[in-house]
Amino acid sequence: MGELKLENSEQQDWDSCLVAVAETGDRKLFMAFYDYFTPRLRSWLIKLTSDRDLAEELSQEAFLQAWRRAKTFDPKKAKASTWLFTIARNLFVDHKRRQKVEQKHAEKLAGGDIQDVDFGLDNGLVKKAIANLPHQQSQMIYQSYYLGRSHSEIAKATGLPLGTIKSSIRLAFQKLCIELDPL
Amino acid sequence: MNHINHHPDEATLLSYAAGALPRSFAVLIDCHLEQCPQCHEKIFKAEAIAGEFIEHSPPIEANDSDALRDKFFAALDAEPTPQQLAHTVGNEPQLPIEVVAVLSGRDQELPWRFIVPGMHSITLNSSDLHSSESSLKLLRIAPGRNLPMHSHQGSELTMVLQGAFQDELGCFRPGDVADLDHEVEHQPITIGNEACICLVAMDAPLEFKSLVPKLLQPFIGF
């Protein structure tokens, strides 16, 4: 695990990296994980929170929790990236509970419209899977994962009926499961 | 474990995994997941999709990344190693105490509020469960009673905790979830000999079809 290639996730087995961190407590090895995922996690958190400072704070805390919980990581249950996502998501949800940003979030939607968004994914299976979705479905997936919007919030922002939003997300989810086979 | 016939919409499970559900809806899904490995699997898949998004996102360019890295490494250096942290903090969801009371057969101890004959409710209004955006309630309906015909202005999730009810969509028993929106118009009626107790998450008031329930609506809190 000593020779880490940080520039390309495909070449790096992050699951083994985390398992080794849990076994050895190697801080430098953990920093390799941090170096790869921090700019990516922050990128997602900035979109989700619309607040760079908050995104930074949540990201730093997510990595500290990842370190503290490294022994609970089980590569048979989830990939390292999924595990890190769930830690960061839970921090975001807890933050929403504390700050009651749901109301502010809803206010931001007033007069909002659905805009073309680019997931900005690198070339690979995930990018292809998103590109294969009909436009409306990919937009709903973006609004859910990257903007953290509930179905009703998406309805307010887009003017589309709730039933349409739910069926778009459901169909997109089913297609992504087939294309990405995420488990 | 109950056999579950009615599950939340996969769109709702994806939003739960994305952290995008209102708090009250997420708590109801937590209650369902306690009893439903099938939906747990779907949540894992939705989380794995998010993991792929993050792993394959372009790294953000930031001028302050070196300073942040130094700050993080200093914080990391002050931490014990993972092996020294014998008791790691779990992240298991805590179900509301009122729900736990119903599930353990102690519903009579709860402060039920009378709505109309045969119908009582409790609003779970701990600070993080009740907001202008959504609400979470327990509803207890006596055997043989029915709710007036209604539809929904927004989303509604209903999970049966005890007893059973039937509507145009089928029969709902403990663990089952009805995932409804304004396109569904229904008139639930309890079945069996015991009261039906449901956990109900809504992000907008119900829309009653007849005049009397409409007039009563400001007083009954639905």
- Checking if the pLDDT of A4 tops 70, the result is no
Per the domain annotation, does A104 fall within a domain? no
Q: How far apart are CA A14 and CA A41, in angstroms?
A: 15
Residue B206: give the domain boundaries. Answer: 1-222
Q: Please, which pLDDT band fits residue B142 given cuts at 50, 70 and 90?
A: very high
Element (H, E) at B172: strand B170-172
The residue among A8, A23, A67 with the most chain B CBs within 10 A of its CB, best to mutate, is: A67
List Cα–Cα distances, B28 to B22, B201, B202, in angstroms: 10, 7, 11
Mean pLDDT of B55-81: 88
Element (H, E) at A82: helix A80-99
The alpha-carbon gap from A152 to the nearest alpha carbon of chain B, in Å, equals 7
Chain A residue nearest residue B63, CA to CA: A39
| C-alpha triplet A160, A166, A170: angle, nearest 5° | 135
**Final residue before a domain boundary, out of A99, A131, A155:** A99
Mean pLDDT of A59-71: 96
So what's the ipTM on this one? 0.88
Same domain, A89 and A116: no
Mean pLDDT of B191-202: 94
Q: How far apart are CA B93 and CA B14, in angstroms?
A: 17
State the pLDDT at residue A3.
38
Which residues 153-212 of chain B have a CB within 8 Å of chain A? 154-155, 181-183, 203-204
Same domain, A84 and A114: no
State the pLDDT at residue A105.
53
Q: How many residues does chain B have?
A: 222
Return the residue matching tokens 């089980």. A74
DSSP 8-state symbol, A103:
H
Helix, strand, or coil (residue A178): helix
Which residues are registered as beta bridge partners of B139? B121, B198
Structure-token pair, residue B8 = 């939340």
Q: Please, which pLDDT band fits residue B59 given cuts at 50, 70 and 90?
A: confident
What's this model's pTM, rounded to 2 decimal places? 0.88
**Final residue before a domain boundary, out of A68, A99, A130:** A99
List Cα–Cα distances, A58 to A45, A145, B54, B95, B191, in angstroms: 8, 16, 15, 25, 48
State the pLDDT at residue B53.
94
Lowest mean pLDDT among A26-35, A156-165, B129-138: B129-138
| Count of domains for chain A | 2
Per the domain annotation, does A89 fall within a domain? yes
Task: Yes or no: say if A100 and A53 are a contact pair by the CB < 8 Å rule.
Answer: no
**Final residue before a domain boundary, out of A51, A73, A99:** A99
The enclosing domain of B168 has a CATH number of 2.60.120.10
Mean pLDDT of B105-133: 82
Q: Please, which pLDDT band fits residue B127 given cuts at 50, 70 and 90?
A: low
Same domain, A2 and A56: yes
Q: Do A77 and B79 touch (CB under 8 A)?
A: no
Same domain, A10 and A93: yes
Q: Do B47 and A39 touch (CB under 8 A)?
A: no
| Count of domains for chain B | 1
Q: Do B11 and A122 touch (CB under 8 A)?
A: no
Same domain, A62 and A128: no
pLDDT in tens, A97-107: 887 655 555 55
B87–chain A Cβ distance below 8 A for any pair:
no
List Cα–Cα distances, B71 to A57, A62, B66, B67, in angstroms: 11, 14, 9, 6
Element (H, E) at A57: helix A52-68
Residue A61: give the domain boundaries. Answer: 1-99
The residue among B54, B84, B92 with the most chain A CBs within 10 A of its CB, best to mutate, is: B54
